[in-house]
Amino acid sequence: MCKRAVCKAFLRRWNKMYDLIIAGSGPAGLTAAIYACRSGLKTLLIERAFAGGQMAISHMIDNYPGFENEVTGAALANSMKLQAQKSGADMVTEEIKSFELTGETKKVATSKNTYEAKSVILAMGAEPKRLCIPGEEEMIGAGVSYCATCDGAFFKDGEVAVIGGGNTAVEDALYLAKFCKKIYLVHRRDQFRASPSLVEAAQKLDNIEFVLNSIPLSVNGEYTVQSLSVKHNDTGEERQIFVTGVFFAVGQIPKTKLVAGQVELDEGGYIKSDEGCKTNLPNVFCAGDIRSKPLRQIVTAVADGAVAATAALGFEI
C-alpha cells in the first residue's frame, strides 16, 4: 500500500465518526460494505475474529450462483473481504462490547475503541447449537454439518443421520431423502416437536428411518465420519449407526445479546425487520442470519446486505 493510501486510512480511522458501521463480516456484512462504499458512504466494518462468518468454515460450497464448480468457504470469504476492502471499507478486528442505538448518533464500543456513526447495520449472524458430544467438533467439515441445504448434495447416494425433533430436523430429512439412500432421523423423545404434516410426510418415505427416544453419544471416524453412536433412553441399549454424514438440527442461537432491549426481537431472539431490513429504531438495520426470516443461506445473506446498505442511503425499499 502506498504512503498516501496509508495516510488516508490512518486519518479515517483517527476520525471515528462514520456514515455507517457494520457489525459482523459474514456474507451479509461484507456485501453491505461493498454496496455502501460504492455509494460513497464512509463505512467501518467490525469483526471479532475473521471475515466470512460461518461461510468461512464451510468445507465446500456448491449452491452459490456463479461457481459452476465447488468453491471452499474460505476462498469465497476471502474474495468478498478483498472486494470490500478494494471498495474502500475500513475493517477492524475488535470484539464489540456494547451498542448505543437509540440516539441520533449510534455508538459501538469495542475492546479497544468507541466508534460513532449515523447508521448501523447489525450483521452478527447466528451460530448453530451444538451438543458437544465426542467427535462433533473434530469432524466439522469432514462429515459433520449444521446445514443440510448447504452440504447435503455432497452425500448423494450415501447414508446420513439427522439429529433433532423440530421442524428444521424433519425438513432436513425430507430434503436429504431426495438424493440420499438412507436417512436416520434421531430424536431424544418418542414424539416430534415438528408439525404433524411434516412428520407424516417423513413417515411415508421408505428411506427415512426414525430412531426415537435415543440420544447421540458420539460421532466416530478417523479422518471422516464413519458412524454415529446412540443410546436408547429406556433400555440403555447402545447402537452404532453406520453413516458418512451427521447433520445437527437442534436449533440456532442468534447473536443478539448485546442489542436485546434496544431493537425488537421475535420469540426466537432474531431481529424483527421489514422488507427493507429496517428495525424498529431509526437508521438501524439488520442483515443475514441475525434477521427473522424463513431461509438462512449465503445467497439470502448477500441479498440482505445489499438491501440494508441501500436502505441506509435513505432509499425506500
pLDDT tens sequence across 269-300 = 999 999 999 999 999 999 999 999 988 889 99
pLDDT, tens digit, 9 for 90 and up, residues 171-190: 899 999 999 999 999 999 99
* pLDDT above 60 for 17: yes
Count of domains for the chain: 2
**Is 284 found in the same domain as 185?**
no
Query: How far is the CA of 61 from the CAs of 64, 71, 73, 141, 272, in angstroms?
Result: 7, 5, 6, 11, 28
- Per the model's pLDDT, the better-predicted residue between 190 and 57 turns out to be 190
* pLDDT above 90 for 73: no
Catalytic residues: 147, 150-151
**Is 28 found in the same domain as 116?**
yes
For residues 276 and 308, give the distance between their C-alpha atoms in angstroms, rounded to a whole number.
6
* pLDDT above 90 for 62: no
**Is 123 found in the same domain as 152?**
no
**Is 298 found in the same domain as 201?**
no
* pLDDT above 80 for 49: yes
**Is 180 found in the same domain as 207?**
yes
Kindly give the pairing relationship between strand 182-186 and strand 284-286.
unpaired
For the chain, how long is the longest CA-to-CA vector?
72
pLDDT at 118: 97
Range of the domain at 95: 3-127+252-312
pLDDT at 61: 81
- What percent of the chain stands above pLDDT 70? 94
Task: Kindly indicate the confidence band of residue 317, based on its pLDDT and cuts at 50, 70 and 90.
Answer: low
What is the reported pTM? 0.75
71 - beta bridge partners? 61
Task: Kindly indicate the confidence band of residue 69, based on its pLDDT and cuts at 50, 70 and 90.
Answer: confident
**Is 198 found in the same domain as 99?**
no
**Is 170 found in the same domain as 114?**
no
For residues 317 and 312, give the distance between their C-alpha atoms in angstroms, rounded to a whole number.
10
* pLDDT above 80 for 195: yes
Count of other CB atoms within 10 angstroms of residue 190: 12
**Is 108 found in the same domain as 176?**
no
* pLDDT above 60 for 9: no
**Is 163 found in the same domain as 274?**
no
Angle between helices 167-176 and 196-203 (to 10 degrees): 30
pLDDT, tens digit, 9 for 90 and up, residues 99-154: 999 999 999 999 999 999 999 999 999 988 999 999 999 999 999 999 898 889 99
Judge contact between 173 and 183, C-beta under 8 A: yes
**Is 243 found in the same domain as 299?**
no
In a domain, 108, yes or no: yes
Task: Kindly indicate the confidence band of residue 43, based on its pLDDT and cuts at 50, 70 and 90.
Answer: very high
Q: What is the average per-residue pLDDT within 181-203?
A: 95
Q: Is 20 exposed, middle or buried (0-12, 13-18, 19+ CB in 10 A)?
A: buried
**Which of the 8 DSSP states describes residue 255?**
S
In a domain, 230, yes or no: yes
**Is 186 found in the same domain as 222?**
yes
- CATH code where residue 208 lies: 3.50.50.60
